[in-house]
Amino acid sequence: MKLGLILASNASLPQPSTRIAVLNMLPFLRAAGWQCDIVFQPAPLADSECPDLSALSLEALRGYDVILFQKVAGPSAVALARQLGVAGVRTVYCVCDRIGTEMAAACDRTVVISSFLRSLYPQHLQPRIEVVCDGLEDTSVVCEGTRQRRGGMLLPLRAVLVTSSALSSLPQIGLPPPWLAVDVVGRYPDSTQRLERLKQAVRLVLNCRGWRARLRAAAFLCHPRVRRLRWSPATVALALQRADFAILPIDTAAGNGRGIPDWQLKSANRLTLKMGAGLAVLSTPIPAYEEVLEHGINGLFARNAQEWRQGLQQLRDPALRRRLGAAGRERALRDFAPDVQARALLRVLNGLAVPSVAHSAQSETHV
């Protein structure tokens, strides 16, 4: 069986969604008998979710059982998906953090990362939408163990926050309490790039609206117990191993002006990353997280600043950190290991690879 991949980013420098949803799955798919070929990818650092696919040869694509569009949409992708349907080639639209109704209608199946995201699609598309959660990337990363202390000014506890952005504050928290240090792993220059770090800090401060917000950003960026670390797999692994617990504060007041705010569409991968490392997690509840974290069982939720202060105080207890961390790792390994993700994706692909009368009928609707 042959699978053709249309990627939103180049495989040599992939964005996280390309790496997690597709590239990490290739060894499992090939072991299950699928020949996997990249039939389109943008140039390195030229990521595009709406590329021009008109140069792809429809005749060449006919040789594949399934074509998978990884987060690729737009008029050109929709037109190609419809043409493939008419030609008898099955199609999958794989999307992680948005609602792609037009692509979902054009493709045989749509793969989303949470039941909540699935529920946002029109009712008539629901039978063709499958949930495949993002899997863990490295199950060998485990925290070094719960330290038997509550933290203080001289020996603070350490929390870790992994993000895809460059934060200028800690949402919901503000500045860490005196007994806590925070490692923020995100889109920051390396610590050796002092001039670049200074330039970024100035930009982050100036991007804030109002002098109060700018003062808060400056206090965060200069705080002696906040370390801003450049994202890399090695940096993430080391930060997780050295942390006492993990935090996931989200600014739920932020919107995008387009209805459902972006934070509601996020996948659970940043949560399961931390749970998989055996860390107790304190998080803002968002739909994908609420499908995984059970408050008081394998983590803690905090909905406002007061609950965040209370949750942080609770996590000073080493016994609680140990219990929540162990339960979180058990859940993450059971439901989000890479082979679990691969089996779910294979069920979708194998189901499509079997010719059916239903597909022939659906192909006619793509004309």
> Which neighbouring-strand residues pair with 91?
67
- State the pLDDT at residue 257: 53
* C-alpha–C-alpha distance, residues 341 and 346, integer Å: 9
Start-to-end Cα distance in the chain: 26
Rounded Cα distance between 96 and 106, Å, is 17
The rounded distance, in Å, linking the Cα atoms of 341 and 292 is 15
pLDDT averaged per 10 residues in sequence order, the chain, 367 residues:
96 93 96 97 91 94 97 96 96 93 97 95 96 94 85 95 94 95 97 95 95 95 97 95 97 71 91 97 96 97 96 97 97 96 97 61 44
Identify whether the C-beta of residue 296 lies closer than 8 Å to the C-beta of residue 317.
no
Side-chain-side CA neighbours of residue 210 (13 Å): 3
Closest CA to 98 of 256, 249, 293: 256
DSSP class per residue in 187-203: S---TT-HHHHHHHHHH
Pair 9, 18: CB distance under 8 Å: yes
Residue 355 pLDDT:
59
pLDDT for 365: 46
Tell me the two tokens of residue 348: 């979708």
Could you read off the pLDDT of 49-81 as tens digits, one per residue?
A: 999 999 999 999 999 999 999 999 999 999 999
Q: List the one residue out of 159, 161, 157 whose CA is nearest residue 147.
A: 157
Q: From residue 246, give the alpha-carbon distance in Å to each of 19, 152, 272, 326.
A: 23, 18, 11, 13
CB atoms within 10 A of CB 251: 14
Residues sharing a CB contact under 8 Å with residue 333, sequence separation 6 or more, in sequence order: 136, 139, 276
The tokens describing 46, both together, are 């030229």
- φ and ψ of 19, to 5 deg: -65, -50
Asked if residues 206 and 214 have their Cβ atoms less than 8 Å apart, the reply is yes
Residue 240 and residue 271: Cα distance in Å, rounded? 12
At 268, is the secondary structure helix, strand, or coil?
A: coil
The answer to whether the Cα torsion of 105, 90, 77, 73 is positive or negative is positive
Alpha-carbon distance of 113 to 267, in angstroms, equals 6
Q: Which neighbouring-strand residues pair with 35?
A: 2
Q: What's the rounded Cα separation, in Å, for the pair 118 and 122? A: 9
Nearest to 338, CA basis, from 118, 23, 10: 23
pLDDT for 279-310, tens place per residue?
999 999 999 999 999 999 999 999 999 999 99
Please give the DSSP secondary-structure letter assigned to residue 139.
T
Separation CA 312–CA 87 (nearest Å): 57
SS3 state at 6? strand
Helix (H/G/I), strand (E/B), else coil: 343: helix
Q: Which two tokens stand for residue 51?
A: 């590329």
Amino acid at 221: L
Give the separation between CA 361 and CA 69, rounded to whole angstroms.
22
Domains with residue ranges and CATH for the chain: 2-134+338-365 (3.40.50.2000), 157-336 (3.40.50.2000)
Q: Is 134 helix (H, G, I), strand (E, B) or coil?
A: coil
What global pTM score does this model have? 0.89
